[in-house]
């Protein structure tokens, strides 16, 4: 072999080996580490930059939260309003609803793309912006923008091509009930985009997740069959009473999440979902747990009896509960003591490192 070809071959094999190692390390982990809103502990949540960073950390799945614009585009954003993560209040004063929030559904994609995106903040009693996680990326520095779901899929598929990977999408339709109240079917729009980009079956690297149990039943009973799709689905569970509303007796009423943690209903859950995503606090006996001695309950075991995977949310090293001495103790409690199959985390590098270390023990 000529010298130049030997060098080219060495470069090729090094690159392939590096890519192979990165993928192999991720794919062979027994626990699924999901990059929650990307590597959102390091870069503003849901930006393409945070997705690229999480991709490079070796995650198997990147999370997308979706909302719809006034002109029916799907955008990647956690809240269905824009004011926690953009300068919308500066650029469009007077466009808030009565509750003071600037709803994504009231703005066109062009208007939303004109906004500057930032690390999240809240307003204090004087109306001053206070960063939600003070140790994270500095608020309103550099330049970030909101992108569409299609742009994110093309970004991930593009990286899969250049990096030789098969990183998947963990897609959440945010507040389908609120979109319905505003005349929009976010789940149908989401499935149509997924189908357009080739994600149609349970073998596709996609989890379709939602907090809206009535909407998941609609997705499984009507939408997916009509579109010839059968994706993996996950029902999210919370103790927050205002997360989901359902239309009952002609009135929008709070959905009662007790239904989703009552083992009597788990057989029905398993008819509609491949997995469950509970708030991790629901797996812990919080009264008796203390650092060095976290006690878990049997919830994961009970979901497992019905063949449901369990992917709790969200582990953050900068928002630890009082009973966890550090983030590793929390990963351990959720993934190994409670026995969850995976976890959402804002710090995917730490999650991957913890699981790899555990598996080598």
Q: Using CB under 6 A, list all residues that contact ligand G3P.
A: 36, 65, 78, 172, 209, 236, 277, 313-314, 344
Q: Among residues 280, 277, 284, which one has the least CA distance to residue 237?
A: 277
* Strand pairing class (245-248; 232-237): unpaired
Binding partner of residue 277 among Ca ion, ligand G3P, none, CB under 5 to 8 Å per kind? ligand G3P
> Taking the complex as a whole, how short is the minimal distance between the CB of residue 32 and ligand G3P, in angstroms?
12
Site for Ca ion contains 346 (CB under 5 A): no
For ligand G3P, give the closer residue by CB, 164 or 321. Answer: 321
**Nearest CB to Ca ion, comparing residues 323 and 347:** 347
Phi-psi region at 220: left, alpha or beta (left = phi > 0; alpha = psi -120 to 50): alpha
Closest CB 236 distance from Ca ion, rounded Å: 7
Kindly identify the residues of this chain, within the stretch 49-108, that bind Ca ion according to CB under 5 A. Answer: 65
Report which DSSP code applies to 116.
Answer: P
Strand pairing category for 245-248 and 251-254: antiparallel
Closest CB to ligand G3P: residue number:
313
Contacts of 262 (CB under 8 A, 6+ apart): none
Closest distance to Ca ion from the beta carbon of 135 (Å) = 22
Catalytic residue check, 78:
yes
Q: Helix, strand, coil proportions of the chain in percent (round to 5)?
A: 40, 20, 40
Q: How far is the CB of 63 from Ca ion (least distance, A)?
A: 6
Closest distance to ligand G3P from the beta carbon of 257 (Å):
13
In sequence order, which ranges of 35-108 are alpha helices (DSSP H)? 48-57, 88-91
Does 341 participate in binding Ca ion (rule CB under 5 A)?
Answer: no
Task: Out of 46, 73, 78, 80, pick the active-site residue.
Answer: 78
Q: Does residue 215 belong to the site contacting Ca ion (CB under 5 A)?
A: no
Nearer to ligand G3P, 26 or 314 (CB): 314
* 3-state DSSP assignment of residue 149: helix
Give the nearer residue to Ca ion in terms of CB position, either 79 or 172: 172
- For ligand G3P, the closer CB: 23 or 216: 216
Residue nearest to Ca ion (CB): 172
Q: Which is nearer to ligand G3P, 65 or 329 (CB)?
A: 65
Q: What backbone phi and psi angles, to 5 degrees, belong to 117?
A: -100, 150
Give the sign of the dihedral formed by CA 309, CA 314, CA 316, CA 321.
Answer: negative
Find, among 251, 324, 249, 248, the residue nearest to 293 by Cα.
324
Residue 314: name its binding partner from ligand G3P, Ca ion, none (Cβ under 5 to 8 Å by kind): ligand G3P
The residue from 45, 83, 111, 172 that contacts Ca ion (CB under 5 A) is 172
Candidates 165-173, 275-283, 295-303, 325-333: pick the segment binding Ca ion (CB under 5 A).
Answer: 165-173
Residue with tokens 């094999």: 13
Clarify whether 80 is annotated catalytic. no
Is 152 a binding residue for Ca ion by CB under 5 A? The answer is no
Q: Please state the φ and ψ torsions of residue 265, each to the nearest 5 degrees.
A: -100, 0
Instruction: Say which entry of Ca ion, ligand G3P, none residue 341 contacts (CB below 5 to 8 A, set by partner kind).
Output: none
**Residues ≥6 apart with Cβ < 8 Å to 59:** 26, 33, 34, 35, 167, 348, 352
Sign of the four-CA dihedral 328, 356, 166, 228: negative
The whole-angstrom separation of Cα 115 and Cα 99 is 21
Residue 349 binds which entry of Ca ion, ligand G3P, none, CB below 5-8 Å type-dependent: none
* Residue among 78 and 147 whose Cβ is closer to ligand G3P: 78
For the CB of residue 141, give the shortest distance to ligand G3P in the complex, in Å: 23
Q: Alpha helix (H) ranges present in 58-185?
A: 88-91, 109-113, 149-163, 176-181
Work out what residue 344 binds among ligand G3P, Ca ion, none; the CB cut-off runs from 5 to 8 Å by kind.
ligand G3P
Min dist CB 78 to ligand G3P, Å, is: 6
Residues at the interface with Ca ion (CB under 5 A): 65, 172
Catalytic residue numbers, as ranges: 36, 78
């Amino acid at each position: 072999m000529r010298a130049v070809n030997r060098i080219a071959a060495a470069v090729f094999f090094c690159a392939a080996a590096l890519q192979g190692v990165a993928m192999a390390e991720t794919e062979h982990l027994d626990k699924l580490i999901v990059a929650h809103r990307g590597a959102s502990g390091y870069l503003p949540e849901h930006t393409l930059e945070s997705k690229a960073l999480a991709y490079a950390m070796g995650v198997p799945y990147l999370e997308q939260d979706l909302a719809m614009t006034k002109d029916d585009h799907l955008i990647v954003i956690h809240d269905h309003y824009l004011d926690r993560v953009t300068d919308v209040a500066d650029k469009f004063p007077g466009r808030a609803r009565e509750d003071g929030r600037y709803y994504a559904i009231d703005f066109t994609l062009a208007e939303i793309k004109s906004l500057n995106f930032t690390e999240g903040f809240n307003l204090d009693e004087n109306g001053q912006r206070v960063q939600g996680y003070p140790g994270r990326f500095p608020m309103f520095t550099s330049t970030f923008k909101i992108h569409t779901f299609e742009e994110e899929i093309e970004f991930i598929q593009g990286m899969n091509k250049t990096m030789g990977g098969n990183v998947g999408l963990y897609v959440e339709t945010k507040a389908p009930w609120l979109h319905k109240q505003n005349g929009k079917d976010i789940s149908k729009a989401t499935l149509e985009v997924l189908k357009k980009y080739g994600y149609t079956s349970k073998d596709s690297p996609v989890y379709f997740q939602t907090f809206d149990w009535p909407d998941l039943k609609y997705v499984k009973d009507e939408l997916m069959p009509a579109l010839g799709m059968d994706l993996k689905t996950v029902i999210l569970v919370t103790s927050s009473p205002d997360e989901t509303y359902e239309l009952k007796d002609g009135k929008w009423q709070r959905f009662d999440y007790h239904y989703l943690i009552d083992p009597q209903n788990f057989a029905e859950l398993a008819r509609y979902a491949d997995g469950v995503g509970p708030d991790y606090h629901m797996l812990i006996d919080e009264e008796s747990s203390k650092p060095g001695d976290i006690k878990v309950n049997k919830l994961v075991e009970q979901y497992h009896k019905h063949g449901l995977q369990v992917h709790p949310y969200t582990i953050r090293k900068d928002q630890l509960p009082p009973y966890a001495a550090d983030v590793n103790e929390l990963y351990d409690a959720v993934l190994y003591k409670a026995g969850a199959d995976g976890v959402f985390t804002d710090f995917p590098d730490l999650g991957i490192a913890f699981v790899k270390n555990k598996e080598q023990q």
